[in-house]
Amino acid sequence: MAGRGDPPEGTPEGVPGGEDEYRSVVFDEAFVRAAHLQEFSARERLGEHTEAVRNRPSAWEGRSSSRQAILLVLLILLAFGTAIYLGVRNPYQPPADQRAEPLRTTVVPLAPQGAVVGGEPARLFDHSPAAEYRTGAAGINFPLTGRTTHFAESQVVTALSIAKEYLVASSLEPDVLSGATVRPPRLLLDPDQLEQYDRSVEAPADDGRHALAAWLVRFDPRQVVLADPATRVQGTLRFEETSPDTLDVTADHTYTYAVRPAVQGAGPVARASLFTVHREVHFRFDREDLRMHRTELVTSTVEAGPQACGADTTGSLKPLLAGARAPEAGGGPAVTDPYATARPAAPSLCGALAPSAQPSL
């Protein structure tokens, strides 16, 4: 007997709609649950929904999201590790701070050819080669600045500023000149040179390394004092890039001091005299020095007079005062004019002070 919906003779074989024709498209329960789209019910369609179907999350989507999250974490860790590796192995890292070499020192006393000229400080200055010199730090002027191949103009200005600050601290600071302190120049030195500097202070020696007079200008306060605090100064500053990581500054200046005896006798006030110091200091800066506001001294050459050739000038300078004569003229036939800058320093251990360096009274 045929079913309720079937023809009396059954479903004809080969007729469309037969059971075999739709067997391949029968959706089982697992397939329905896995579908991405689900039709809203009639009640849901009467609501505010405008779409007829809604998306259904699938188990594959959950697994895919988890895998993507894990992959993202792995990529982040890989990138972080690569950055660390390249930071350690990067061949273009800035070079490490180079160790400063010891300062090489030369101090040459200049002996007068006759008696040291004396008088009032103002009159001595007016009749000397220092008549047109500026007073104090105003005599230490910057050259025209600009950038170099590897250093910006601001870095060049910083190097020149530190060099000038050292020259002022070591040649013009009253407490340094009188021997009351040695600290101001020390504050500007590369830490690698502090031991050499301290030894030069405590035990100066004429060994090319520990002459205190090459680091700073100092008079023995028991013998000499300044007759006029207004030291006259003139000279030049030059800068040069010596490597991609170092900048050099050369300072070539003449300082003229008015001095007198520290102890006054019972008679009239002793006359003043002029004492001239020609200093050529070679400074070196690396990038760390510029950042830390410090410098390395490479060489320092000092020619100073009038002094006796046999005087020990490795520590305090020892001027011959007004009316004094040198026991013997030094330097042989070659005379040295400390006012003539931009020239090679005297190679001898003692020179003869040029007569033109004395005031013409």
DSSP 7-62: -TT-SPTT-TT-HHHHGGG---HHHHHT-SEEEPPHHHHTTT--SSEEE---HHHH
- pLDDT computed for residue 31 by the predictor: 55
Please give the model's pTM, rounded to 2 decimal places.
0.72
Please tell me the predicted confidence (pLDDT) of residue 331. Answer: 47
Percent of the chain as helix, strand, coil, to the nearest 5: 30, 25, 45
pLDDT for 330: 46
Contact 84, 76 (CB under 8 A): no
Local mean pLDDT, 10-residue blocks, the chain (361 residues): 52 52 57 57 59 55 70 82 64 57 93 92 95 96 94 97 98 96 97 97 92 95 93 96 96 97 66 96 97 97 91 87 79 71 63 84 69
Q: What is the DSSP string of 44-58?
A: HHTTT--SSEEE---
Residue 189, CB half-sphere, CA atoms under 13 Å: how many? Answer: 23
pLDDT of residue 56: 56
pLDDT at 267: 46
Look at residue 311 in the predicted model and tell me its pLDDT.
76
Is the N-terminal amide bond of 129 cis, ω within 30° of 0? no
Cβ within 8 Å of residue 246, ≥6 positions away: 98, 284, 285, 286
pLDDT at 7: 54
The pLDDT, as a whole number, for residue 242 is 94
Residues β-bridged to residue 254: 234, 278
Predicted pLDDT of residue 257: 98
In the prediction, which pLDDT does 90 show? Answer: 47
Write the single-letter amino acid at 338: P
Confidence (pLDDT) at 263: 81
